[in-house]
Structure 1
Amino acid sequence: MRVAAVAACALAVAACGDRRSFDERYNDAGSELEQRARAIDQNIVNELPAEEPAEGNRAS
């Protein structure tokens, strides 16, 4: 019984770790997603072959 009480107290203390507001966590998550998106975009740009200069519009 004591073990269960100690485990419950430990769980309750662990659940109180992040005291930031929802808005703060939301903004942090949004910033992280923007950084990941930029990194993905940069990787895509680096992997694409360089475009050859266009010779103008050709009428066929």
Structure 2
Amino acid sequence: MRAAALVLLLLGLAACGDRRSFDERYEDTGAKLEERARAIDGNLANELPADGAGNAAS
């Protein structure tokens, strides 16, 4: 019984952690996704050949 009460208390405290509005969290997540997408695009641009020489078998 004590363990269940402790778990409920911890869950209640965890739910109170982020008090930002949905819109603020949405904008933050969108910004993070855009940053990750730019990083992925940059990595792909660095790995792919610029002149298309990698597609000689086509």
Which category of TM-score, normalised to the shorter sequence, fits these structures?
0.7 to 0.9
Which consecutive residues of structure 2, in runs of 5 or more, have no partner in the other structure?
Answer: 53-58
Identical pairs, percent? 65
> 2 CA distance for matches of 1:16 and 1:34?
28
Which consecutive residues of structure 1, in runs of 5 or more, have no partner in the other structure?
Answer: 53-60
* Structure with larger Rg: 1
> 1 CA distance for matches of 2:49 and 2:11?
53
1:27 aligns with 2:38: no
> 1 CA distance for matches of 2:51 and 2:24?
42
Greater share of residues in helix: 2
In the superposition, the TM-score normalised over structure 1's length comes to: 0.71
Does the C-alpha gap of structure 1 residues 5 and 34 become closer, same or farther in structure 2, counting only changes over 3 Å? same
Aligned residue pair count? 51
- C-alpha root-mean-square deviation of aligned residues, in Å? 1.7
